[in-house]
Amino acid sequence: LRYPHHDSEIVQMECATGLHPYVRWWMHNGTMSLNGQKMSKSLGNLVKVSELLAEGFTGNGIRLALLAHHYREDRDFNRDALRTWEERARLLERAAGVTGERQDHLKVQPYRNAFQDAMDDDLDTPRAIQALTEIAEQLEAGGIDPVTGGGTLVELGDVLGLRLRQD
């Protein structure tokens, strides 16, 4: 976007909200398309989250599908791909619910580091999701203790807005 777009947005929002500064960073994301055509209100081809929820998709599945691509990448919406991410969401939720008694912070630390490195690398959410998936798979296989692993999975999932425990 070209000057003065951001400056204009800042002035309007700071006046409207009283917050100074209203924003510190601007991030521009790629476009979402449907069947190869950019989604837009004017074309009437938007897929709304409320519609997906009504179809039985979950917030975690939708969020994972959106975060599965780098934020600057263009992508095409696909319900079949969304179903795959629903399965991944169920894996994460199931693994977060595994219970146990012992703790071993050293075994989970490499996954925590991988997640943090991914997020520090221009918000590489696909790599961050892979770290979460590896924790979940290790939890289900018994390779990581449930107390530390489950807590770490919930904590890191929360960074991405995932709600993995239904307390």
Mean pLDDT of 120-149: 94
Q: Are strands 37-38 and 75-77 parallel, antiparallel or unpaired?
A: unpaired
Q: What is the pLDDT of residues 5-20, one digit of tens each?
A: 888 888 999 999 999 9
The mean predicted confidence, pLDDT, of the chain is 92
Q: What is the pLDDT of residues 52-107, one digit of tens each?
A: 999 999 999 999 999 999 999 999 999 999 999 999 999 999 999 877 776 777 78
Cα 15 to Cα 61: distance, rounded to the nearest angstrom: 37
- The first and second tokens of residue 44, run together, are 């009437």
> Which residues have CB under 8 Å from 67's CB, separation 6+?
125, 126, 128, 129, 160
pLDDT of residue 167 exceeding 70: no
- Give me the phi and psi of 124, to 5 degrees please: -75, 75
Instruction: Indicate the residue type of 112.
Output: R
- The first and second tokens of residue 6, run together, are 């951001």
Instruction: Indicate the residue type of 59.
Output: G
Query: Do residues 99 and 146 touch, judged by C-beta distance below 8 A?
Result: yes
Task: Tell me the pLDDT band of 27, cut-offs 50, 70 and 90.
Answer: confident
Helix 59-67, helix 125-141: angle, nearest 10: 130
What pLDDT is attached to residue 165? Answer: 82
